[in-house]
């Protein structure tokens, strides 16, 4: 699986300080886990959480789940040690908080270059400040960059905007990051839905995120996983249409025609590319769940 076909439907935050949560994470049907050392860990627990998480990741099999570690900022007393520790552990990716420039990404990447265990470790960026949003296209070109995670709680605070069910005050920021991610071949993960007991609200917001083009959604509770996995997976109807589009186009090509007609609609090569990508995603999900 390539980064853009690998499923990232559900990306669950797990506190790096909670032993039982770390153990439970090995059984959850999530596509990716953000092992959090930043917001989810109190200052007096951060050093202990770092040691616990490093030991856990070094000795625990999380199966096909993609492993990201969100470290503390390099301007904090914990950030440099976080980076030093997990450069040696070599998770799938390190998630950087409050990224605002390409230079910040390049600095971290250079430090990872010195550690052989991190040769395959990628970098992801939390997009959660106004300056970070404005610099999204530049940040996307940073070395080792593979994905964005939207952080709309912090962003909304800085923007002084109101939380609304339709997220209208945040749409520009969400779309700017999506544009930058798609322009440079990055994964882009939608922000958390705070009301973890509101299943219908989550279903609506996850559907909005999928309609916009996000690859998946970050989550704060395991109860949110099933709804999010369903929202970001190709539906049976979408798979069936994709298969028919490909068949119709191939039949048209065999006749020397450049377009096909299916159910009264034109099918061009661009539709076939989208259909094949959808089927590849469906196959990748089936592989993860097998």
Same domain for 168 and 53:
yes
pLDDT digits (tens, 9 = 90+) for 116-174: 999 999 999 999 999 999 999 999 999 999 999 999 999 999 999 999 999 999 999 99
In a domain, 1, yes or no: no
The domain of 250 spans 236-289
Task: For residues 136 and 36, state if they share a domain.
Answer: yes
Residues 79 and 125 in one domain: yes
216 lies in the same domain as 244:
no
Indicate the pTM of the whole model.
Answer: 0.95
- In sequence order, what are the residues at sequence separation of 6 or more whose Cβ sits closer than 8 angstroms to the Cβ of residue 78? 37, 46, 47, 50, 72
- Split at pLDDT 50, 70, 90, the class of 27 is very high
Q: Is residue 257 located within the same domain as residue 142?
A: no
Query: Domains in the chain: how many in total?
Result: 2
| pLDDT over threshold 70, residue 3 | no
CB 157 within 8 A of CB 164: no
Nearest by Cα to 15 from 33, 48, 50, 40: 40
**CATH for 94:** 3.20.20.60
- Domain match, 266 and 129 both: no
Counting every residue written for the chain, the total comes to: 290
Regarding whether 177 and 271 lie in a shared domain, the answer is no
* Domain match, 100 and 53 both: yes
Domain check: are 117 and 251 in the same one? no
In the prediction, which pLDDT does 5 show? Answer: 72
Residue 4 domain flag? no
81 and 15 belong to one structural domain: yes
For the cut 80, the answer to whether the pLDDT of residue 184 exceeds it is yes
CA angle, 6 then 226 then 60, to 5°? 60
Domain boundary among 191, 215, 232: 232
pLDDT, residue 22, reads 96
Residue 5 lies in a domain: no
Residues 283, 206 share a domain: no
**Long-range pairs for 103-108: beta carbons < 8 A, 24 or more residues apart:** 104/74, 104/142, 105/139, 105/142, 105/143, 105/144, 105/145, 106/142, 106/143, 107/74, 108/74, 108/83, 108/144
Mean pLDDT of 256-260: 93
């Amino acid at each position: 699986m390539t980064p853009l076909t690998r499923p990232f439907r559900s990306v669950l935050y797990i506190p790096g300080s909670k032993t039982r949560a770390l153990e439970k994470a090995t059984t959850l049907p999530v596509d990716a886990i953000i092992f959090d050392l930043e917001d989810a860990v109190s200052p007096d627990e951060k050093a202990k959480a770092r040691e616990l998480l490093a030991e856990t990741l070094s000795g625990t099999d999380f199966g096909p789940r993609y492993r990201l570690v969100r470290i503390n900022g390099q301007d904090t007393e914990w950030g440099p040690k976080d980076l030093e520790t997990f450069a040696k552990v070599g998770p799938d990716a390190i998630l950087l908080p409050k990224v605002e420039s390409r230079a910040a990404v390049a600095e971290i990447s250079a430090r990872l270059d010195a550690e052989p265990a991190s040769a395959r470790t990628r970098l992801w960026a939390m997009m959660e400040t106004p300056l970070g949003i404005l610099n999204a296209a530049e940040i996307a070109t940073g070395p080792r960059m593979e994905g964005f995670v939207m952080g709309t709680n912090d962003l909304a605070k800085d923007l002084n905007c109101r939380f609304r069910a339709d997220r209208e005050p945040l749409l520009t920021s969400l779309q700017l990051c999506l544009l930058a991610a798609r322009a440079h071949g990055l994964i882009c993960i939608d922000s958390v839905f705070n009301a973890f007991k509101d299943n219908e609200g989550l279903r609506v917001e996850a559907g909005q995120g999928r309609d916009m083009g996000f690859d998946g959604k970050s989550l704060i509770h395991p109860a949110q996983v099933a709804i999010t996995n369903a929202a970001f997976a190709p539906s049976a109807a979408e798979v069936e249409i994709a298969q028919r589009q490909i068949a119709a186009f191939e039949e048209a090509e065999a006749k020397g025609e450049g377009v096909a007609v299916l159910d009264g609609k034109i099918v061009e090569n661009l539709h076939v590319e989208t259909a094949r990508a959808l089927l590849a995603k469906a196959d990748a999900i089936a592989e993860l769940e097998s």
